[in-house]
Amino acid sequence: MGVSMSGTSRRPIPYGRHAVSEGDIDAVVATLRSDFLTQGPKVAEFEAAIAAYTGAKYAVAVANGTAGLHLAALALGVDTSTRVITTPITFAASANCIRYCGGSVAFADIDPETLLIDLASVERLLESKPRGYYHGLVVIDFAGRPLRLDAFRRLADRHGLWILEDACHALGGHFVDDTGASQRCGNAVFADAAVFSCHPVKHVACGEGGVVTTNSRSVYEKVVRYRSHGITKDPALLQDNPGGWYYEMQGLGFNYRLSDIHAALGSSQLSRLEEGIARREAIATRYDDAFRGSAVRTFGRPDRGRHAHHLYVVEVPSRREVYDALHERGVLAQVHYVPLHTMPYYRDVGFESGALAHAEAYYERALSLPMYPTLTDDEQAYVIDAVLAVVKAVA
Ligand SMILES: *Cc1c(COP(=O)(O)O)cnc(C)c1O
């Protein structure tokens, strides 16, 4: 159904959208004709391709990004005695993965210039407690902007913390570290483990899917084991070996496996990732240029490295009116995210609203505009005109 605007009928423009090619469809159909539907050669291929792309030593494909975060948290040893710091400006799964394991979550504030978790705010939390009180950090490359993880690693090392990078927005992003080396998001050089989502709005879609990356053999082995019921058949890992049939359940795991059908789609999509990012980059540049000098605040990009542009977030005055007026015009802008510490669930487990000034100020004005590779120039022009007109009308 089109939305009527000045006599023209136009398909609503979402904030994000997947792109499935004929090649993707052929890859999935070929898998349906093969001997494997669930975990088989396509899963192994997808894992190898993600490891090669990111530079991480190990990649484990899982049912979805949330499952990946849960498995990574388990592999990092999160339990009921674990306390973890994260950001409130993220999807709920970044914090929920700690709660699944019974751990507790504290929220640091964001840097208002980058919208990423603020190093100084994390440091203040750490220093407000005795050493050893906190055990880990879950950080996120929000909107696809790479977090400077080398600085977080130094802080984490001083306080004995592990780092889990929620890289669900950032496949294809990279930053330049203090030594001048380029570091791809999710390469797990500074983080102990990283997680990607392959949900259709993310860069590489499997339908549902996710990947955990790490350079640690022990994290890798645990993620593999917990992905499939805590069971291993690997002769090198068995405690006993009475015969070829034997397998061992060594911990309480889950069925978080990815199917070969999904993995075939993921590998085919991954082969077009660079094209997609180049298109996202062009869309971001055009928005940046269009909003310069207007009441729409943009967040640019890091001077060095590469923003993966999962989301194009802006701040606008009178957000509610702007959001409603854009939806009336068929521009389905979204808000990323309602701060996690204000959610009833997290308030109930002990976190107050009103404590994180930058996160709350950003949320009051936050809006995500359409950003996906198949957004056409014509559609983007329509979005820009609508945003500028609506913002002018409410100002
Ligand atoms: C999408 C997303 C997830 C969860 O991924 P799913 O594949 O949907 O489970 C986790 N964290 C962030 C930041 C995300 O954007």
What kind and span of H or E run contains 276? helix 273-291
Strand 8-10 to 366-369 pairing: unpaired
**Euclidean distance between the first and final Cα of the chain, in Å?**
31
The arrangement of strands across the sheet holding 210-214 comes to 58-62, 210-214, 193-197, 162-166, 136-140, 83-86, 104-107
Q: Tens place of pLDDT for every residue, the chain, 395 residues?
A: 444 454 457 899 999 999 999 999 999 999 999 999 998 999 999 999 999 999 999 999 999 999 999 999 999 999 999 999 999 999 999 999 999 999 999 999 999 999 999 999 999 999 999 999 999 999 999 999 999 999 999 999 999 999 999 999 999 999 999 999 999 999 999 999 999 999 999 999 999 999 999 999 999 999 999 999 999 999 999 999 999 999 999 999 999 999 999 999 999 999 999 999 999 999 999 999 999 999 999 999 999 999 999 999 999 999 999 999 999 999 999 999 999 999 999 988 866 545 799 999 999 999 999 999 999 999 999 999 999 999 999 97
How many Å apart are CA 18 and CA 202, to the nearest integer? 8
Q: Indicate if ligand 1 lies below 6 Å from the C-beta of 173.
A: no
- Contact between 305 and 176 under an 8 Å Cβ cutoff? The reply is yes
Greatest alpha-carbon pair distance for the chain in Å reads 76
How many Å apart are CA 222 and CA 214, to the nearest integer? 11
Domain with CATH 3.40.640.10 in the chain: 22-270
Strand partners, 314: 367
Q: In which residue are the tokens 């943009």 written? A: 298
CA 45 to centroid of ligand 1, rounded, Å? 22
CA 79 to centroid of ligand 1, rounded, Å? 22
Of 141, 148, 236, which is closest to residue 190 (Cα–Cα)?
148
- Contact between 167 and 192 under an 8 Å Cβ cutoff? The reply is no
Q: Indicate if ligand 1 lies below 6 Å from the C-beta of 232.
A: no
CA 66 to centroid of ligand 1, rounded, Å? 6
CATH architecture of 273-394: Alpha-Beta Complex (3.90)
Residue 67, phi-psi category: left (phi > 0), alpha (psi -120 to 50), beta (remainder)? alpha
Mutate to test the pocket of ligand 1, among 64, 89, 91 (most ligand atoms within 8 A of CB): 91
pTM over 0.85: yes
Which tokens sit at 9? 């009928």
Q: Indicate if ligand 1 lies below 6 Å from the C-beta of 86.
A: no
CA 319 to centroid of ligand 1, rounded, Å? 25
Chain centroid to CA 134: 23
CA 186 to centroid of ligand 1, rounded, Å? 14
CA 67 to centroid of ligand 1, rounded, Å? 9
Q: Indicate if ligand 1 lies below 6 Å from the C-beta of 200.
A: no
Domain with CATH 3.90.1150.10 in the chain: 273-394
Q: Indicate if ligand 1 lies below 6 Å from the C-beta of 266.
A: no
Q: Indicate if ligand 1 lies below 6 Å from the C-beta of 140.
A: yes
- DSSP letter at 3 equals E
- Contact between 308 and 54 under an 8 Å Cβ cutoff? The reply is no
Residue 192, phi-psi category: left (phi > 0), alpha (psi -120 to 50), beta (remainder)? alpha
Please spell the DSSP secondary structure of 54-81, one letter per residue.
Answer: H--SEEEEESSHHHHHHHHHHHTT--TT
Q: Which atom of ligand 1 approaches the CA of 67 most closely? A: 9
Query: What's the topology of domain 22-270?
Result: Aspartate Aminotransferase; domain 2 (3.40.640)
CA 131 to centroid of ligand 1, rounded, Å? 31
Strand partners, 5: 8
How many Å apart are CA 76 and CA 74, to the nearest integer? 5
